[in-house]
Amino acid sequence: MKVLKLTIIAVVLTCFSCKQESKIQVDWVSSTNDKLWETETYTGITEAGLPKININLDITKTQQTVDVFGGCFNELGWEALGMITSVEKQQILNDLFDSISGCKFNICRMPIGANDYAVNWYSLNETPEDFTMKNFSIDRDKKRLIPYIKEAQKINPEIEVWASPWCPPSWMKHSKHYACKANPEVNDLPLELSSTEELVSRFIMEPEYLEAYALYFSKFVKAYEKEGIDISAVHVQNEPNSAQNFPSCVWKPQDLGIFIADYLGPKFEAENLDTDIWLGTIERPQIERVNDVLEYKNTKDYVTGVGFQWAGKGAIKEVHAEYPEMQLMQTETECGDGSNDWKAAEHTFDLMKHYFENGANSYMYWNMVLDETGKSQWGWKQNSMISIDSKTRAIVYNPEFYLMKHLSAFIAPGSLKILASGDTDNSIVFFNDQRNEINVITYNKEDSKRTLSLNVNEHIIKADLDPKSFNTLTVSLN
């Protein structure tokens, strides 16, 4: 991986309104498929006649605060890291979490029990009808997930970890099985218990099961606290509308409201837990499914935010408008088909823009590290930021690693999204009021050069962008 230290260059620009000179500092990093993460020397000199991308910036037109970026700690990611030397593993972890030269990831996800990127399926208590959670245990997590998180903590002690279950203990479901959809190739769920129907709860909606599940969450938070890992938030169910052939659990929206308002919220309150409760991770575009949860009794009093992924992106705009007090998160970037190519990075940039333009406070990648196959336990090849070849042990930093870094390395927690105007279809802009600097992330999607022209406080900043390039310009206003 080629990593270049950014150099700040002072450039004299003309203030057109007052006809006097002032100084602005500009950093610029650019990536194309052939030249990843290149520091560009900003001169303000551009080629004549190039088509322009004109963007006007007003730092008083701020929107949401950004918290900001991370990925997911998964068992298969830790397994992949175990294939390489300790020096190589440390370098990868530094590149993801280091707050100076890395991606600076500061908020990351983890599963509660198995997901489709676990080594195999499990929960934290598979003893049937153990309603007191006597046999609850995180011993399994001490082999992979906890070491993964602790290595990240060594690099960034302030990293936040949030968690979500893909499936409750299997005995809490009507089917007594992790999966909801039968698939003989990957699970042994009987066909007569298989269903892909939505809006019908697979969880047993009886008080003793609901109470036990709230206790399950509470024990999870406390057990991780004893390991030195504070769980900042729990998202109550990964994709509550999706009946999958891997660990999953469909919930009727009103039933999720019952669980949160009548059981989980009061349990956390009674236990004085600081862990936030989120409605996540929503994977459908219908806002009424969000409403049916949040409008049940006092559910909103317990819910800090709403998390979205996949088709849930179709609901975020309406949710932001209807619940402006709610924090919003993109919880799992769409993971592609294992191509790990430039086209995948282009798609992810479009997702980033959509989410931030519609109120998201943070953005999560999915698998940070995988082997070269990218395969889940049920055979779906998916993308990762970094790939490790299981045969040659070769390490490849994929285009999405650099795309994530184009944002996460520069946009500090607490930055403000700016409502820019002009040719903003392929740009996202943020303002850091602590540093008094603007971060402009622009993708030149064309096959030829374009001149980016930024009007910042009546200063004109121009830079020629390479074809098909991601660019981050940091403009210091000091």
Establish if 17 belongs to a structural domain: yes
Establish if 231 belongs to a structural domain: yes
For CA atoms 151, 152, 153, 157, give the dihedral sign: positive
Same domain, 364 and 462: no
- The Cα–Cα gap between 359 and 265 comes to 25
Q: What is the pLDDT of residues 390-412, one digit of tens each?
A: 999 999 999 999 999 999 999 99
pLDDT at 9: 29
Establish if 49 belongs to a structural domain: no
Establish if 422 belongs to a structural domain: no
> 177 pLDDT exceeds 60?
yes
Enter the tokens of residue 200. Answer: 């019908």
Q: 327-332 and 362-367: which strand pairing?
A: parallel
Span 180-193, average pLDDT: 97
- Hey, what's the torsion of the CAs at 132, 167, 272, 155, to 10 degrees? 120
Same domain, 299 and 382: yes
Establish if 427 belongs to a structural domain: no
Please, which pLDDT band fits residue 68 given cuts at 50, 70 and 90?
confident
pLDDT at 325: 97
Same domain, 14 and 107: no
Same domain, 398 and 325: yes
CATH code: domain of residue 201:
3.20.20.80
Same domain, 104 and 17: no
Residue of 431 and 10 predicted with greater confidence: 431
- End-to-end Cα separation, the chain, in angstroms: 32
Establish if 423 belongs to a structural domain: no
Q: What is the pLDDT of residues 371-392, one digit of tens each?
A: 999 999 999 999 999 999 999 9
Q: What is the pLDDT of residues 146-174, one digit of tens each?
A: 999 999 999 999 999 999 999 999 999 99
> 69 pLDDT exceeds 80?
yes
Establish if 251 belongs to a structural domain: yes
State how many domains the chain has: 2
* pTM metric for this prediction: 0.94
Same domain, 445 and 410: no
- The Cα–Cα gap between 65 and 417 comes to 6
Establish if 327 belongs to a structural domain: yes
Enter the tokens of residue 52. Answer: 């322009």
- The Cα–Cα gap between 270 and 223 comes to 17
pLDDT at 32: 98
Same domain, 405 and 471: no
Same domain, 388 and 459: no
CB-hemisphere CA count at 13 Å for 376? Answer: 20
Same domain, 263 and 329: yes
- The Cα–Cα gap between 436 and 478 comes to 6
- Domain boundary among the residues 384, 417, 450 is at 417
Can you give the residue range of the structural domain that contains 15? Answer: 9-43+437-476
Residue of 15 and 151 predicted with greater confidence: 151
Please, which pLDDT band fits residue 23 given cuts at 50, 70 and 90?
low
Query: In DSSP terms, which residues pair with 395 in a beta bridge?
Result: 388
Same domain, 376 and 464: no
Same domain, 393 and 267: yes
Percent of the chain with pLDDT over 70: 95
pLDDT at 398: 98
Same domain, 355 and 447: no
> 282 pLDDT exceeds 70?
yes
- Given a contact cutoff of 8 angstroms between Cβ atoms, the answer to whether 452 and 442 are in contact is yes
Mean of per-residue pLDDT scores for the chain? 95
For CA atoms 454, 457, 460, 464, give the dihedral sign: negative
pLDDT at 279: 98
pLDDT at 2: 34
